[in-house]
Amino acid sequence: MTTLRIAGGQVLRPDMTVERADVLIDQDDGTILAVGDVADADETLDASDGLVIPGLVNAHCHAAMTLLRGYADDKPLDSWLREDVWPVEAALTPEDVRAGTELGMLEMIKSGTTGFADMYFEVDEVAEAVEEAGLRARIGHGVVTIGKDEEVAREDFETSLAIAEEFDGAADGRITTAVMPHSLTTVGEEYLDDYISRTRDLGVPLHYHANETRDEVAPIVEERGKRPLEYAREKGMTGESDFVAHGVHVNTTEIDLLAETGTGVIHCPASNMKLASGMAPVQAMLDAGVTVGLGTDGAASNNDLDMFGEMRDAAMLGKLAANDASAVAAESVVEMATRGSATALGFDSGRIEEGANADLAVIDLSSAHLVPHHDLVSHLAYAARGSDVKHTICDGTVLMADREPLTLDEKSVTENAEKRAKELAERATE
């Protein structure tokens, strides 16, 4: 057994208390062996002056969209997708997806994110990139059937199932999968009828966008006389392992439905604000017992993958939405970004405890904006930034030490992404 000791830091425990302790990791099986005073280990990583936290989990993301960062801003969801995003995505090559995913993961590692859910295409490239970067991910192929011939639409769904089957459990179990219909309005009912039961036979979760904008809710209510998530339940798309992105415009019936079925909701506050989609009733969902995780969505609607920014946005927006300054408190957003997201994604991560996955980050507490140290949970939610992360560890492997990424080459990843993004934009406007 090879062991790693995260030494001398303050540690955020699952009950949100902070104590000074070492964390001992079994690097062979990638789990936490002990928290407390531990004996010497094969390797030691210094965490004095630091706060050891569970690695953050970005539970809804399209990592390769980092190539579109700053490409098109300041438009509502529908026209932004149709006029800008989808045309450019149609010009993406597998190599572009690889480059964008690597850029996204570099950003995640540098900001303390150790796990994520990714909905995209060219997923074999995504899987290879995840394997190389050392992160934990639930990945899948996003299916859109509207505007497509039946044969092409069916091929798209078949791809999503095949990808889910092929890569589940890859990279020593760090990679898991889901079948990912894009949303309840961009995938036709006839396809849901055929493919959801096949997803269940495969035994993988479903992940889709739901109730993101009013424009997405209204047509379902008008056409079917029921709410989108009632429709989703009728189609067999809700359950303990399933998770939906956004859940902005959910009513009380849908909140109860989410809680009853155990379906996770991934809150994406920055994306919801930027696209003016609305304010999710996060505190009401938490009060009802819904599993709520946190995600950045794609970098084109955020525009970064920094989960610290997302925690702050979630707290701020949650208070506005509830018209209550005590709503969506610091502890709640830290919980959402760690255990909430991990639970929604089915990862045994998001908590620093014996037996859990050794997915951790160490925050440097010495910067001016993190002094004094009255309340470190408050700092995580309101004052810390991704650039405060000193070390990142996933599955017991050190992915970044003293801000130097070890699994991805920072220079070549950023240069390649810059070059490919430029060529992509030129191709898309030809």
Please provide residue 371's backbone torsions phi and psi, each rounded to the nearest 5 degrees. -110, 140
Query: Could you tell me the smallest distance in angstroms from the CB atom of residue 324 to Zn ion?
Result: 28
CA dist., res. 336 & res. 158, Å (int): 33
Q: Among residues 303, 308, 310, 409, which one has the least CA distance to residue 363?
A: 308
Nearest-10 crossing angle of helices 94-110, 410-428:
140
Using CB under 5 A, which of the segments 134-142, 194-202, 229-237, 297-305 binds Zn ion?
297-305
Residue (297 or 395) nearer to Zn ion, CB = 297
Residue (118 or 297) nearer to Zn ion, CB = 297
Query: Could you tell me the smallest distance in angstroms from the CB atom of residue 31 to Zn ion?
Result: 31
Q: Which of residues 143-162 bind Zn ion (CB under 5 A)?
A: none
Residue (297 or 364) nearer to Zn ion, CB = 297
Query: Could you tell me the smallest distance in angstroms from the CB atom of residue 246 to Zn ion?
Result: 7
Query: Could you tell me the smallest distance in angstroms from the CB atom of residue 294 to Zn ion?
Result: 13
Nearest-10 crossing angle of helices 189-202, 150-167:
20
Query: Could you tell me the smallest distance in angstroms from the CB atom of residue 80 to Zn ion?
Result: 12
Question: What are the structure tokens assigned to 295, written together?
Answer: 């995600």
Question: What are the structure tokens assigned to 131, written together?
Answer: 């394997």
Asked whether position 297 contacts Zn ion by CB under 5 A, the answer is yes
Residue (156 or 297) nearer to Zn ion, CB = 297
Residue 208 contacts by C-beta under 8 Å, 6 or more apart in sequence?
180, 181, 182, 183, 184, 187, 232, 237, 244, 245
- Is residue 210 within a helix (H) or strand (E), and if so which, with residue range? strand 207-210
Binding to Zn ion by CB under 5 A, coded x per residue (else -) over 243-282, reads ----------------------------------------
Using CB under 5 A, which of the segments 5-13, 136-144, 292-300, 331-339 binds Zn ion?
292-300
Residue (96 or 297) nearer to Zn ion, CB = 297
Neighbours of 148 (CB within 10 A): 15
Using CB under 5 A, which of the segments 26-34, 144-152, 296-304, 329-337 binds Zn ion?
296-304
Read off the amino acid at residue 99. A
Residue (283 or 296) nearer to Zn ion, CB = 296
Q: Among residues 360, 215, 213, which one has the least CA distance to residue 279?
A: 213
Query: Could you tell me the smallest distance in angstroms from the CB atom of residue 60 to Zn ion?
Result: 6
Asked whether position 118 contacts Zn ion by CB under 5 A, the answer is no
Residue 96 contacts by C-beta under 8 Å, 6 or more apart in sequence?
64, 67, 420, 424
Asked whether position 230 contacts Zn ion by CB under 5 A, the answer is no
Residue (11 or 59) nearer to Zn ion, CB = 59
* ω into 372 cis (within 30 of 0): yes
- 363 near 380, Cβ under 8 Å? yes
Using CB under 5 A, which of the segments 30-38, 73-81, 158-166, 290-298 binds Zn ion?
290-298
Q: With contacts defined by CB under 5 A, how many residues of the chain interact with Zn ion?
A: 1
Q: Residue numbers of the site for Zn ion (CB under 5 A)?
A: 297
